[in-house]
Structure 1
Amino acid sequence: MGGLLLAKMQRFLRKPWTFIIMVLFTLVFAYFMGGNNGTQTIPIAAEGENEISSSLLEQLNTSDELVFQSVTEEELRNQVQGNEVDAGILQNNKGYRILYTVESPNVTLIEQKLTQIVAEQNERQHLLGTGEENGLSEKQVDQLLIQVEEEPLFQIGMETFHGGESVVIDSRLQGIFGFSLFFVIYTISTLVAELFEERQMGIRDRLILSPVRKWEMYSANLIYSFVLGYVQIVLIFLVFRFAAKVDFYGGFGETLVALIPYVFSIVALSMFLTGFVKSIRQFNALIPLISVSLAMLGGAYWPLEIVSSPFLLALSNISPISYGMEILKGVTIYQLPFSELLFPISMLLLIGVVLMGLGINGMERR
């Protein structure tokens, strides 16, 4: 079996282009469909030669979605007019102005930020006025506010309508996970399809007559396809984790383990198709149809959480991608232990074992 694996790896190194193209396709699609939704920089400037106060920047920079940076008025106008940024904030004596050329979601976020800051400033001015009427200085009012924040009279709790089962959608991870699981189908199916070439070239017949056992022959093909498919997804995850700085919610290591049952099920699916189609042309025509269908039903293109049709949700149970997405989201977004993901893991292993058995049986009968 070792000799067969070595021969296949040498063949791969001579023609690695399919693998490389699939990796690049996945990176491009995942980036544009979700991986590029990172932190946006928003310039802020004061009219004239005034400077933005550091306290205002601290109030604005309280989230990871937008980063506000102090610039001059000229730089701000040039960036907005050149479409280098979505929008910019211009401060004057009367308040704030938002400069933008095209309406975007970031404009709404900026408006909400400024509305909140203006409301807090008005509230502070009102408290200072009330304190002055009662003989309190500004310092004393600030001390009272700090005391109230540290020791409130009552606690306010917030809970979603769905309680602990709330749905969280991360568009970045949705794109990365979905397209990684989708494109690896093409890579694995291409590798498994080499069995057709071996059959046509007579290599399979010579192997059967050689001392190599059949289980070694099948195992070499399965291990070869599994390793390259797994490496493809791992490379993509590494690029987004360390180059694009995508947040995996502390579960990056778990995602690498969660990929194993999914890749195994896709290898088994490819082996199943290989055992029942008659030619490489039929195989190549069937793979795009099946892969796109499984991706649409499994939530690779859009989250299943937004699908309301019971019929489509029922059909998603036949797609390995739906179970793969459930596991990957579970170990990242929802931070679940593997003990709570035994059902999708078991389903992927079951699909893999059944399809593998049917595929090998079909190849032996042929």
Structure 2
Amino acid sequence: MSPSRRRPRPILALVAANLRRQARDRTGLFFMLVMPFVTIAFVGLALGGGSDGGTRLPVGVVAGNDDPVAAAVLEELAASPNLDVERRDTEEEVRAGVREGRLAVGLLIPPGSTELELVMTQTNGTGMAARGAVDVAVGRVSAVLEATRAAEAAGATPEEAAASVRAAREDLAGVEARAPDDAGQGTDPRGFAYTAPANLVLFTFINSMAVAAALVETRRLGMVRRSLAAPVRPSTVLAGEALSRLVVAVGQALLIIVVSALMFDVSWGDPLGVAVVVGAFCLVATGAAMLVGSLVRSPSQAPAIGPPVGIVLGMLGGCLWPREVAGETLTTVGYLFPHAWAMDGLLTLARPGQGAGEVLVETAVLLGMAAVLLVVSLVVFRRRAMTMR
């Protein structure tokens, strides 16, 4: 048998040995098999539940019964598929409902006024989603009011102005409007459809960093140095160690995709696009794990450093909450790291009609980051493995 055919066997042996050692870590298995889905469930419910944005968001409204502007706004709000309008008697009821989380947002419509007040919390992802839908509804009414003013300014009689308004509303009814991208979560998935991709990115990276401790133990015991002294090519040993971490990352990602689709009815979008983005991010996580495992000196240091770093990057990348909540500065900083690019790619694919062609930029950035991390980590790992006692 030729050497080229025998070469994969040492790689597979290293992968199998590393996976067996990982399977004996009960704490690690808990964070891989249980914790992601607990987080998806609780955070997903906090962000509105549902998997495709179908959950109607409660909006509390205080408005006069005989006010024409209020009647028009209420009609548009009731027609929105994303909102559940709840009338309230007082402003205090609305503010308390928003503050306590029973209402996504509140809308105060003073009688005889076109000055509307939106009540919302600045750290509520569900509120950001409801705000986008409310903006659309109010925008429709504003367009009708402008049509009325224009007709009257042009000298139309009240009857002619009313006819113009009816025509404007009929034309507007056929227009599918949506909130702009900077209006919050109006164009992004929410509920489970948001938390499933977020936790895939978060836990794939964190658990990859955590298993770097096994790599440190391998170096400490001199196993890699002895393998390099055997009649096995150094590239084979390095490939085996890297492939072990990649298998863990891919396994974690696939588990979250499959279970979230079955348990929470999450639709991930175009399979090819998801595979490309997730595969690129798993390579990033592998490179990060190899680098941490190469730099730290004891097995206890890897889990002490890796997960906190992963959580911080997850915050910046929108894995713990929508990035809009963090503000423009932190959102911009987040794009220095892979989590933000992976989240952008997965959330884009979750929207209807989006495919792999729409995430080429995100994929290219992730692959570039992965290449840098893998090259640097493999060089550092080989030098440390050969010199460490």
Q: TM bucket by the smaller chain?
A: 0.5 to 0.7
User: Which one of 104, 113, 135 corresponds to residue 102 of structure 2?
Assistant: 104
Q: Do structure 1's residue 212 and structure 2's residue 232 form an aligned pair? A: yes
Alpha-carbon deviation of 1:334?
5.4
Q: Distance in 2 between matches of 1:313 and 1:170?
A: 18
**Other-structure match for 1:222:** 242
**Other-structure match for 1:260:** 279
Q: Which amino acid aligns with 2:333?
A: L
Determine which structure has more spread, i.e. the larger CA radius of gyration. Answer: 1
Q: Distance in 2 between matches of 1:320 and 1:160?
A: 29
Alpha-carbon deviation of 1:12?
3.5
**Other-structure match for 1:329:** 347
Q: Distance in 1 between matches of 2:179 and 2:266?
A: 29
Q: Distance in 2 between matches of 1:331 and 1:177?
A: 10
Whether contact under 8 Å (2:198, 2:343) holds in the other structure is: yes
Q: Do structure 1's residue 348 and structure 2's residue 348 form an aligned pair? A: no
Count of residues in correspondence between the two structures = 272
| CA RMSD between the two structures | 3.6
Q: Distance in 2 between matches of 1:40 and 1:330?
A: 20
Alpha-carbon deviation of 1:64?
8.7
Q: Which amino acid aligns with 2:297?
A: K
Q: Distance in 1 between matches of 2:341 and 2:372?
A: 16
Whether contact under 8 Å (1:167, 1:305) holds in the other structure is: no
Alpha-carbon deviation of 1:298?
0.7
Q: Which runs of 5+ in 1 are unaligned?
A: 42-59, 67-86, 88-101, 109-151
Alpha-carbon deviation of 1:16?
5.7
**Other-structure match for 1:113:** none
Alpha-carbon deviation of 1:9?
3.1
Q: Which runs of 5+ in 2 are unaligned?
A: 1-10, 57-77, 87-99, 107-169, 385-389
Alpha-carbon deviation of 1:103?
7.9
Q: Which moved more, 1:1-10 or 1:267-276?
A: 1-10
Whether contact under 8 Å (1:35, 1:246) holds in the other structure is: no
Q: Do structure 1's residue 286 and structure 2's residue 296 form an aligned pair? A: no
- 1:310-325 alignment to 2 at 5 Å? 311-325=329-343
Alpha-carbon deviation of 1:204?
1.5
Whether contact under 8 Å (2:291, 2:378) holds in the other structure is: yes
- 1:112-261 alignment to 2 at 5 Å? 156-160=174-178, 162=180, 167-248=187-268, 250-251=269-270, 254-261=273-280
User: Which one of 304, 320, 341 corresponds to residue 301 of structure 1?
Assistant: 320
Q: Distance in 1 between matches of 2:373 and 2:286?
A: 9
1:16 and 1:212, CA in 2 relative to 1: closer, same or farther beyond 3 A? farther
Alpha-carbon deviation of 1:106?
8.7
Deviations 1:43-86 (A, max 9, x none): xxxxxxxxxxxxxxxxx9x96989xxxxxxxxxxxxxxxxxxxx
Q: Which amino acid aligns with 1:219?
A: A
**Other-structure match for 1:123:** none
Whether contact under 8 Å (2:324, 2:331) holds in the other structure is: no
Residue 105 of structure 1 aligns to a residue whose secondary structure is: coil
Residue 34 of structure 2 aligns to a residue whose secondary structure is: helix
User: Which one of 36, 49, 66 corresponds to residue 26 of structure 1?
Assistant: 36
Q: Distance in 1 between matches of 2:365 and 2:231?
A: 36
Alpha-carbon deviation of 1:290?
1.2
Q: Distance in 2 between matches of 1:40 and 1:155?
A: 23
1:252 and 1:307, CA in 2 relative to 1: closer, same or farther beyond 3 A? farther
**Other-structure match for 1:359:** 377
